A and B are shown apart, each in its own frame.
Chain A
Amino acid sequence: KNQVEQSPQSLIILEGKNCTLQCNYTVSPFSNLRWYKQDTGRGPVSLTIMTFSENTKSNGRYTATLDADTKQSSLHITASQLSDSASYICVVSPTEDMRFGAGTRLTVKP
């Protein structure tokens, strides 16, 4: 069983709308959690990184939240743009390695 589960698998929204992506993990111990954006045909690019003591981290229109007690994280995208169409990957680091979620494929339509 994957230690990092993301939902939904895919999502379609209209340009300008907000959306929230979910990440549940069972990785323990826990060092940090990251969200990556991966455009089609490209490598992942880091959006946010949070340690276990942080509850929220923002990067422009992207806001990540973390609840270490329930082992849940979310990525909220505000006022979506066509360029937000990509896969969003949740990555949890226990100690010196990284566990990747399968990602959520987001499509923003005009």
Chain B
Amino acid sequence: NAGVTQTPKFRVLKTGQSMTLLCAQDMNHEYMYWYRQDPGMGLRLIHYSVGEGTTAKGEVPDGYNVSRLKKQNFLLGLESAAPSQTSVYFCASSWTVPQYEQYFGPGTRLTVT
């Protein structure tokens, strides 16, 4: 069991470039989440999904898009990267509602110059 994996681990983008972060889980979890973590702040929810083919906005969705075409994968896209999107991005998954334990991936460190 790999748990939750994220690719890539590191990425540097120039302002205006686009990229996609991939999250994969092998635990057959229904719920998946994307968070960003910035220094001095708690993790903030970007988008989440309650099942294959469904997505919903979290606390800070602007500038990001997501897709959940397969149950095990949750993609986070940046269409036109901005320096404010420099952050560490974490993916997580859980069986159902977040009251159940969330399992986190190792994170992706993104720098936008």
Q: Does more than half of chain A's interface fall in helix, strand or loop, or is it mixed? A: loop
Taking CB atoms, residues of chain A closer than 8 Å to B92 are 43
Please determine whether A45 and B42 come into contact, CB atoms closer than 8 angstroms: no
For A102, give its contact among B41, B58, B105 (CB under 8 Å). B41
Count of interface residues, chain B, beta-carbon cutoff 8 Å: 19
- Which has the most chain A C-beta neighbours within 10 Å: B45, B98, B106? B98
> Chain B: residues with CB nearer than 8 A to chain A?
4, 40-45, 58, 90, 92, 97-99, 101-102, 104-107
**Known contacts A42-B106, A96-B98, A103-B42; can you find 16 more A-B pairs with CB under 8 A?**
A31-B99, A42-B107, A43-B90, A43-B92, A43-B105, A43-B107, A44-B90, A44-B104, A89-B42, A89-B43, A97-B58, A98-B45, A98-B98, A99-B42, A101-B42, A102-B41
